Amino acid sequence: MKKTRQKPDKPRKDFPLSPANNGQWCKKIRGTIHYFGIWSSPDAAEAEYLRVREYLQGGRLPPTTTATEGIRLNRLANEFLNSKRALVASGELSSRTFRDYHAGVATIVDNFGGERLVVDCKPEDFSAYRQTVSKGRGLHSIGWTVTLARMLFGFAYDSELIEKPIRFGQQFNKPTKKSMRLDRARKQEKHGLKMFQAEEIRGLLKYASAQVRAMILLAVNGGLGNSDLANLPQAAVQRNWLVFPRIKTGVERRIPLWPETVDALHLAIESRPLAKDAQDAGLCFITKYGHRWVRTGPNGTSNIDKIADEFKKLLSDMNLKRERVGFYALRHTFETIGGGCGDQVAVSSIMGHIDDSMSSLYRERLEDSRLLAAVEHVRKWLFQPEEKPPAKAAGKKQTKAGSQKRGNI
């Protein structure tokens, strides 16, 4: 019969650890038993416990070394964000992207610990971090999280803040293209396509306020997104054309405007409130409080998007609200329907997509006729003649869909 070893007493009353059956000192933290050293070395076990206690209590992997010199993660985060802030000041990076960097880096610091030495971050740390942040996120968000972490730690090596590049391990990768395709198919099957039907858009146009109506038309007419609309200057409207680079990519665009879009845009400009900031005086759209529709929050790191908020209310009023479909789905709609014109080059040009193909290097210009054909194809789809009701229903009272027309925001 195997003889059980006699457990030792604690060296003092306030000793934080307990003896385990395997001959080590241990402590239960967040529901898990952790071991810190053998019975015969209680002082070393306690020192190890104190070294890693903060990490374990925070649900993070502790450092694997006892090194005390080198750059720590909170300083690396500041260095990285300062470099990006300089790009914002020079106009090379959008404020929206900087806010995304700021929020993402804050998440990394919270998970790893601000006092963590950068050189002490190991593949198992990144694997655990990926599992933690993946909960409740879509694959696109997971991919962005992985990319940002690699950017941050790559910046440390490129800036000579550490001597050797960080190893992330084979588990810390973006989701594969195959998994992205399968995930998209599952979401489409569950929630439907991420776009609007023509009759839905016509209903939105009917009940939207003057400014929101013009925004909807610009989104369907030329694929403009929220940031594009919030920063759209009146000078970009040149009769029946919109000449304005995409905010996200800086790609120049020339977009033919429908007569309906031109009329709605002029009405929105004429009826818009006065801008509180003199820099916003030349914009096409201003909220009722005199601000840009999309802007930076008071703390400089948050994002206020009133276009998304107002459009969400409009969708709710018209019983069109569903998962994954917001204002940006109008841009998806233009891309999807526009592709039916048979000229993807023209559609991509209007969308402001980056074209790194060899053909783009040789293409010196794009004829206006091709751009006009692309937007006209979408216009015919949107404003197609509605089918007349059967004769027997002609005299019946029609039910009004949606809510009453919303007032100006």
3-state SS string for the chain: CCCCCCCCCCCCCCCCCEECCCCEEEEEECCEEEEEEECCCHHHHHHHHHHHHHHHHCCCCCCCCCCCCCCEHHHHHHHHHHHHHHHHHCCCCCHHHHHHHHHHHHHHHHHHCCCCEHHHCCHHHHHHHHHHHHCCCCHHHHHHHHHHHHHHHHHHHHCCCCCCCCCCCCCCCCCCHHHHHHHHHHHHHHHCCCCCCHHHHHHHHHHCCHHHHHHHHHHHHHCCCHHHHHCCEHHHEECCEEECCCCCCCCCCEEECCHHHHHHHHHHHHHCCCCCCHHHCCECCCCCCCCCCEEECCCCCCEEEHHHHHHHHHHHHCCCCECCECCCHHHHHHHHHHHHHCCHHHHHHHHCCCCCCHHHHHCCCCCHHHHHHHHHHHHHHHCCCCCCCCHHHCCCCCCCCCCCCCCCC
State the pLDDT at residue 67.
Answer: 52
State the pLDDT at residue 26.
Answer: 95
What is the C-alpha to C-alpha distance for residues 243 and 349, in angstroms, rounded to an integer? 12
Exposed / middle / buried, residue 270 (Cβ in 10 Å: 0-12, 13-18, 19+): exposed
Structure tokens at 122: 């190991």
pLDDT tens-digit series, residues 101-149: 999 999 999 989 888 899 989 998 999 999 988 888 888 899 999 999 9
**Low-confidence winner among 32-41, 75-84, 195-204, 383-392 (lowest mean pLDDT):** 383-392
Domain range for 169 is 73-191
pLDDT tens-digit series, residues 24-54: 999 999 999 999 999 999 999 999 899 888 8
The verdict on 81 and 217 lying in the same domain is no
State the pLDDT at residue 91.
Answer: 75
The verdict on 364 and 223 lying in the same domain is yes
Partners of residue 322 on adjacent β-strands: 325
14 or 245, which is more confident?
Answer: 14
Q: Give 401's pLDDT tier (boundaries 50, 70, 90).
A: very low
pLDDT tens-digit series, residues 174-232: 988 888 888 777 876 776 788 999 999 999 999 999 999 999 999 999 999 998 999 99
Mean pLDDT of 367-382: 96
State the pLDDT at residue 358.
Answer: 72
The verdict on 202 and 186 lying in the same domain is no
Residue 297 has pLDDT above 50, yes or no: yes
Q: What percent of the chain has pLDDT over 70?
A: 88
The verdict on 259 and 303 lying in the same domain is yes
Q: How many domains does the chain have?
A: 3
Check which CATH number belongs to the domain holding 256 and give it: 1.10.443.10
Q: How far is CA 362 from CA 329, 356, 359, in A?
A: 32, 11, 5
The verdict on 370 and 276 lying in the same domain is yes
Residue 395 domain-assigned? no
What is the C-alpha to C-alpha distance for residues 198 and 103, in angstroms, rounded to an integer? 37
Mean pLDDT of 235-259: 90
What is the C-alpha to C-alpha distance for residues 74 and 110, in angstroms, rounded to an integer? 10
Q: What percent of the chain has pLDDT over 90?
A: 59
Cβ atoms of 18 and 28 closer than 8 Å: no
If you average pLDDT over every residue of the chain, what do you get? Answer: 86
User: C-alpha angle with apex 64: 60 to 69, nearest 5 degrees?
Assistant: 105
State the pLDDT at residue 288.
Answer: 93
Cβ atoms of 232 and 244 closer than 8 Å: yes
State the pLDDT at residue 328.
Answer: 93
Residue 295 has pLDDT above 90, yes or no: no
Q: Give 363's pLDDT tier (boundaries 50, 70, 90).
A: confident
The verdict on 148 and 48 lying in the same domain is no
Residue 372 domain-assigned? yes
Q: Give 406's pLDDT tier (boundaries 50, 70, 90).
A: very low
Mean pLDDT of 277-300: 88
Residue 5 domain-assigned? no
Mean pLDDT of 54-80: 80
The verdict on 287 and 366 lying in the same domain is yes
pLDDT tens-digit series, residues 318-335: 999 888 789 999 999 999
State the pLDDT at residue 65.
Answer: 56
| Top-ranked range on mean pLDDT: pick from 88-92, 292-296, 394-398 | 292-296
Residue 393 domain-assigned? no
What is the C-alpha to C-alpha distance for residues 129 and 123, in angstroms, rounded to an integer? 10
The verdict on 210 and 184 lying in the same domain is no
Q: At what angle do helices 73-89 and 95-112 cross, to 10 degrees?
A: 180
Residue 281 has pLDDT above 50, yes or no: yes
Predicted TM-score (pTM) of this structure: 0.66
Residue 263 has pLDDT above 80, yes or no: yes
Q: Give 68's pLDDT tier (boundaries 50, 70, 90).
A: low
For the chain, first and last CA: distance in Å?
83
Residue 345 domain-assigned? yes
The verdict on 260 and 241 lying in the same domain is yes
The verdict on 223 and 367 lying in the same domain is yes
State the pLDDT at residue 229.
Answer: 95
Among left, alpha and beta (phi > 0; psi -120 to 50; other), residue 397 is beta
The verdict on 253 and 376 lying in the same domain is yes
The verdict on 257 and 332 lying in the same domain is yes
